[in-house]
Amino acid sequence: MTRRIAIVGSGYMGGGIAQVMALAGAEVLISDVSLEVTQANRERLIEETRKFVADGLFPSDAVERIERQVKVAESIEEAVRDADFIEEAVPEKIDIKHDIFKRVSAAARPDAIIATNTSTISIAKLSEAVTHPERFLGVHFSNPSPFVPGVEIIPHEGTAPEVVERACEIVHETGKETATVKDVTGFVLNRLQYALFHEATQLLEEGVASPEDIDTLVRTTFGFRLPFFGPFAIADMAGLDVYNFCYQSLQTDFPERFATPEVLSSLIEQGKLGTKSGGGFTDVPAERIPDLIAWRNRAYVKLSELMKELGPPPMK
């Protein structure tokens, strides 16, 4: 059965999500503040798709598929009326979003999933404007949504478990990966992203390094690992005892900013030092460690080759 998807807010993020859903085979209706804006955004999407095809980023038939499957609704109400899944992607202002959700709730089917693409606003706060809030959750795509593979799924306390499952299923059909997190300020993605940015600005303000040198170190050292491993897998492979020693050193000048995490101390007290001991955050079985290290090394070489092939980004 073909899914019927409504995207409320057809700008850059909403339009990208519409492309993703359409290429996964869904029928997509987009809507915005006016019919004229929605029509203009659909034309932009098609032109953008044409360029993506020419650049080899989208399938060769993507223009035809998106022209066929992404349609314009005259109003928000028309867009959501028969939708199975509704994704809101309007500006990050709670009053605007509340107004949208009231209109969506009044027009949508009672069993339709209603989702928000908010980056930081509390899902529970947004749910106050939704009728049947058990069908509401955050489904947070990242920019640019056609090409970033991860999607953050954020239920609030009242979200029904089956709604989370259905939302994940819809996202998985697009080929993307999901991670389900709790409804806390910033969720996970932006708490991590802004923690890194904050420390980077501290280094800049202290005169430790230039923006260019900080960026170089991030992308060529620990950031180089991040396409393949998250922070816990990286810590386990480095050795949790090594991390503990590094924290002790950092604390000499930054005792509050770099207090040793309790969960790290607890693992060390249990003798769990990461892959070297066969236990840690990720608990990789000892017999799998040689395969993991070999895979890691191949992955890093392949990424280096890709970076050489692509050349530096055209920033200068």
Over residues 254-280, the pLDDT tens digits come to: 999 999 999 999 999 999 999 988 889
Binding residues for NAD(+): 9-14, 32, 92, 97, 119, 143, 276
- Spatial distance between the Cα atoms of 252 and 246, rounded to a whole number of angstroms: 10
**Count of other CB atoms within 10 angstroms of residue 12:** 16
| pLDDT bucket at 250, cuts 50 / 70 / 90 | very high
Domains of the chain, start order: 4-180 (3.40.50.720), 222-310 (1.10.1040.10)
| pLDDT bucket at 316, cuts 50 / 70 / 90 | confident
Give which of 68, 69, 64 is closest to 22, Cα–Cα: 69
Residue-wise burial string across 117-127, b where 16 or more C-beta atoms lie within 10 A, e elsewhere: bbbebbbbebb
Mean pLDDT for the chain?
96
- Spatial distance between the Cα atoms of 125 and 184, rounded to a whole number of angstroms: 11
pTM given for the model = 0.94
- Return the DSSP state at 128: T
So what's the pLDDT on residue 175?
A: 97
- Return the DSSP state at 282: S
Give which of 190, 176, 170 is closest to 87, Cα–Cα: 170
Binding residues: 9-14, 32, 92, 97, 119, 143, 276
Over residues 196-210, the pLDDT tens digits come to: 999 999 999 999 999
Over residues 4-20, the pLDDT tens digits come to: 999 999 999 999 999 99
So what's the pLDDT on residue 278?
A: 82
Whether residue 78 is predicted with pLDDT greater than 90 in this model: the reply is yes
Are the beta carbons of 243 and 235 closer than 8 angstroms?
A: yes
So what's the pLDDT on residue 221?
A: 96
So what's the pLDDT on residue 261?
A: 96
Whether residue 168 is predicted with pLDDT greater than 80 in this model: the reply is yes
Whether residue 253 is predicted with pLDDT greater than 80 in this model: the reply is yes
Give which of 269, 249, 270 is closest to 258, Cα–Cα: 249
- Spatial distance between the Cα atoms of 23 and 68, rounded to a whole number of angstroms: 11
Whether residue 1 is predicted with pLDDT greater than 80 in this model: the reply is no
